[in-house]
Amino acid sequence: MPSATAPDADARIRGLMDSSAKAIREKDLDALMRHYAPDVVTFDLMVPLQVKGAAAYRKNFESWFGSVKGPIDYEVLELTISQGDELALCHYLARVRSTRTTGEKNDYRVRVTSGCRESEGRWKIVHEHVSIPLTMENMRAALAAQP
Amino acid sequence: MPSATAPDADARIRGLMDSSAKAIREKDLDALMRHYAPDVVTFDLMVPLQVKGAAAYRKNFESWFGSVKGPIDYEVLELTISQGDELALCHYLARVRSTRTTGEKNDYRVRVTSGCRESEGRWKIVHEHVSIPLTMENMRAALAAQP
């Protein structure tokens, strides 16, 4: 069972997820990166397999934000939070709609898992996994692309 | 800080991950599925976006195991465990080597995130996310494949 502080902690984790999504929509790198622990390990949507540290992960967001014209419509769907006393596990689907700087319009859904840990009274994301599932055809291409 | 029971719990989470990997290597569906909570939500390697419940997830493993000849060489790399008192977060890379029933040999790496919760004295996986990162070319194909 959740501890006595769980409802508070749950609200804080929801706040963290809301604030992250808002920062993505506004492409506000500084506001976004405040939510990540310095040693966060990320399995991001694009290669490579993993990204270690918030500084490296920031570069991924920087590159994404730079490829998009105007705000990003980042809609969080089916957010589920499992809450412990010092660890929380969140997962959700995000519908992402944007216009690339090339003019191309995108509308897709990704799966996001975020692990959060409390340290010195603040919850931060310590692990994040973002992906799109593969079709059999894409699987072959993804495997062929691996070193 | 981890609670007083953390070293014990950490060993149990490692045991759970070891036992899951062994069951995958031996393609032992019953042994594998004992580690999942009935209401586990999974973001699996292949479409669809999400799979709800252990019974549905079992079908994915069944299909995978059926497509492979002999055992699966499933090697867990860089296992990291974050431990709370009733919730644990694991992430690792898995190197997968197998021979398909078609004779085709595979050798690839996936990223795995597993969230575990203790219930009635047993740790079980309540959320799992498995993926391969996309290259820019695969990203286009994956987006085109979304409904």
Query: What pLDDT shows up at residue B52?
Result: 98
CB A82 within 8 A of CB A91: no
Which residues 48-87 of B have a C-beta within 8 angstroms of A? 48-50, 78, 80, 82-87
Beta bridge partners of A84: none
B44 touches chain A (CB under 8 A): yes
Give A55-103 pLDDT, tens digit per residue: 999 999 999 999 999 999 999 999 999 998 889 999 999 999 999 999 9
> Could A138 and B138 be called an inter-chain contact, meaning their C-beta atoms sit closer than 8 Å?
yes
Measure the CA–CA gap between B18 and B21, rounded to whole angstroms. Answer: 5
Of residues B89 and B5, the one with the higher pLDDT is B89
ipTM: 0.93
pTM for the full model?
0.93
Give B91-122 pLDDT, tens digit per residue: 999 999 999 999 999 999 999 999 999 988 89
Query: What pLDDT shows up at residue B7?
Result: 65
Classify burial at B71, counting beta carbons within 10 Å of its beta carbon; exposed 0-12, middle 13-18, buried 19 or more.
middle
